[in-house]
Amino acid sequence: MPDINNTNSTQANKAATLKGYQVTLRPIGEDDLERLRQWRNDPSVSQFMLSQADISKEQQQAWFKKIQRDTSQQHFIIEYKERAIGSLNIKARLVGETIENATVIEPGLYISDPTYRNNIVAFSPSLLIIDYCFEQLGCQKLVAVVKSDNHAALKYNQKLGYKIVKQGDLIEIELNFDDYQAHSKTLKSLLSRTPRT
């Protein structure tokens, strides 16, 4: 179960800080915006996004203002050994639901640091947020959309228990709690161990 710290929550929709599986997910702040923009505009990250357009500083600021008021989503910086290595978000899939009462949640993440993209640590943020979505938020399933040429993401998600439900240029995948429990045991065991220093 994730360690949740709500002490930094100043707004009703402000995300909690989550810790577990050797990583921390902390809510993004204004100080993170330029780093996030640089990561998102990096071709190694943007090539797998639904939109590859470069994001300007003004667009980034406007996006940040919008998500600060939006109770249907939460955004995090992924930290490993106190170093920012990527970004993660969750949003209610159904219109009108807040993240706290969402029955279906759509997660999204990317690891910006290439050192950790093909490393077991890349599973840590997903395990942490999936635990949070099922165990704390009480959602019924997770749904994600992956570009059909993003074979690494499909393989990654299938190791977590996701199943393909729609094929095409965009592939829709779903995860329920039972499939997640069955598929994640080994990863959880490996990532719950105390890391070597």
CA distance 74 to 67: 8
Above 90 in pLDDT, residue 3? no
- Give residue 195's pLDDT band: very low, low, confident or very high (50, 70, 90): low
What superfamily does domain 3-192 belong to in CATH? Gcn5-related N-acetyltransferase (GNAT) (3.40.630.30)
Q: Residue-wise over 141-170: b if at least 16 C-beta within 10 A, else e?
A: bbbbebeeebeebbebbeebbbeeeeeeee
Is-contact 85 123, C-beta < 8 A?
no
99 Cα distance to chain centroid: 13
Q: 18-63: per-residue pLDDT in tens? A: 999 999 999 999 999 999 999 888 877 767 676 767 889 999 999 9
Q: 105-137: per-residue pLDDT in tens? A: 999 999 998 899 888 999 999 999 999 999 999
Above 60 in pLDDT, residue 7? no
Question: Which residue has tokens 């240029």?
Answer: 169
The ranges assigned to domains in the chain are: 3-192
